[in-house]
Chains A and B, each alone.
Chain A
Amino acid sequence: MPAATLTARSLIAAPAHARAIGSVGGRRAFAFKEVGKRFGDKIVLDGISLDVRAGQFLAVIGKSGCGKSTLLRLLAGLDRPSSGSVTLSDEEGHSRTRFMFQEPRLLPWTSVVKNVEIGLTGIAGGTEARQRALAMLDEVGLADRAGEWPSVLSGGQKQRVALARALVGQPQILALDEPLGALDALTRIEMQQLLERIWLDQKFTAVLVTHDVGEAVALADRVVVISAGKIAFDLDVAVARPRRHGSAELARIEGAILDQLFGRV
Chain B
Amino acid sequence: MRLAARLAHNGAAGWLLPAAIIAGWEAAARAGLIPANVLPAPSAVAEAFWRLTLSGELIRNIGVSTLRALSGFAIGGSIGFALGLANGLSTLSRGLTDTTLQMIRNVPHLALIPLVILWFGIDEEAKLFLVALGVFFPIYVNTLLGIQSVDPQLVEMGRVYGLDRRALFLRVILPGALPSIFVGLRYALGIMWLTLIVAETISASSGLGYMAMQAREFLLIDVVVLSILIYALLGKLADSLARLLERLSLGWHPAFQKG
Is B153 located at the chain interface by the 8 A CB criterion?
yes
Q: Which residues of A contact B253 (CB under 8 A)?
A: 108-109, 151
Interface residue ranges of A140-182 to B (CB < 8 Å) = 149-152, 165
Is B95 located at the chain interface by the 8 A CB criterion?
no
Asked if A107 and B251 make an inter-chain contact with CB atoms under 8 angstroms apart, the answer reads no
Given A76-B160, A118-B161: A109 in contact with B252 (beta carbons within 8 A): yes
* A118 to B170 Cα, complex, angstroms: 13
Asked if A107 and B154 make an inter-chain contact with CB atoms under 8 angstroms apart, the answer reads yes
Asked if A121 and B161 make an inter-chain contact with CB atoms under 8 angstroms apart, the answer reads yes
Q: Which of B156, B158, B176, B252 has the most CB of A within 10 A?
A: B252
Given A107-B172, A108-B253, A110-B252: A121 in contact with B162 (beta carbons within 8 A): yes
Asked if A122 and B162 make an inter-chain contact with CB atoms under 8 angstroms apart, the answer reads yes
A79 → chain B closest CB, angstroms: 11
Q: Which residues of A contact B176 (CB under 8 A)?
A: 109
Is A24 located at the chain interface by the 8 A CB criterion?
no
* A165 to B252 Cα, complex, angstroms: 19
Instruction: Give the number of chain B interface residues (Cβ < 8 Å).
Output: 21
A168 → chain B closest CB, angstroms: 10
Q: Which residues of B contact A122 (CB under 8 A)?
A: 162
Is B175 located at the chain interface by the 8 A CB criterion?
yes
* A165 to B162 Cα, complex, angstroms: 13
Is B18 located at the chain interface by the 8 A CB criterion?
no
Asked if B161 and A109 make an inter-chain contact with CB atoms under 8 angstroms apart, the answer reads no
Asked if B254 and A121 make an inter-chain contact with CB atoms under 8 angstroms apart, the answer reads no
* A260 to B99 Cα, complex, angstroms: 57
Asked if A99 and B160 make an inter-chain contact with CB atoms under 8 angstroms apart, the answer reads yes
Q: Which of A76, A101, A149 contacts B252 (CB 8 A)?
A: A149
Chain B contact residues: helix, strand, loop or mixed: helix
Asked if B160 and A78 make an inter-chain contact with CB atoms under 8 angstroms apart, the answer reads yes
* Residue interface mask A67-99, B partner, CB < 8 A = 1: 000000000101000000000000000000011
A197 → chain B closest CB, angstroms: 24
Q: Which residues of A contact B153 (CB under 8 A)?
A: 101, 103, 105
* Residue interface mask B245-258, A partner, CB < 8 A = 1: 00000111110010
Is A55 located at the chain interface by the 8 A CB criterion?
no
Given A121-B162, A121-B163, A149-B252: A110 in contact with B157 (beta carbons within 8 A): no
Q: Which residues of A contact B161 (CB under 8 A)?
A: 98, 118-119, 121, 165
* A99 to B160 Cα, complex, angstroms: 7
* A151 to B158 Cα, complex, angstroms: 19
Nearest opposing residue in chain A for B251, CB measure? A149
Interface residue ranges of B33-65 to A (CB < 8 Å) = none
Asked if B160 and A108 make an inter-chain contact with CB atoms under 8 angstroms apart, the answer reads no
A30 → chain B closest CB, angstroms: 17
Q: Which of A78, A118, A150 has the most CB of B within 10 A?
A: A118
| Shortest beta-carbon contacts, A-B, top 10 | A109-B175, A105-B157, A109-B252, A121-B162, A149-B252, A122-B162, A99-B160, A151-B254, A118-B161, A121-B161
Please report A residues at the B interface, Cβ cutoff 8 Å. Answer: 76, 78, 98-99, 101, 103, 105, 107-110, 118-119, 121-122, 149-152, 165
Please report B residues at the A interface, Cβ cutoff 8 Å. Answer: 153-154, 156-158, 160-163, 167, 171-172, 175-176, 178, 250-254, 257
Besides A98-B161, A150-B252, 20 other A-B contacts (C-beta < 8 A): A78-B160, A101-B153, A103-B153, A105-B153, A105-B157, A107-B171, A107-B172, A109-B253, A110-B171, A110-B175, A110-B252, A118-B158, A119-B161, A121-B161, A121-B162, A122-B162, A149-B251, A149-B257, A151-B257, A165-B161
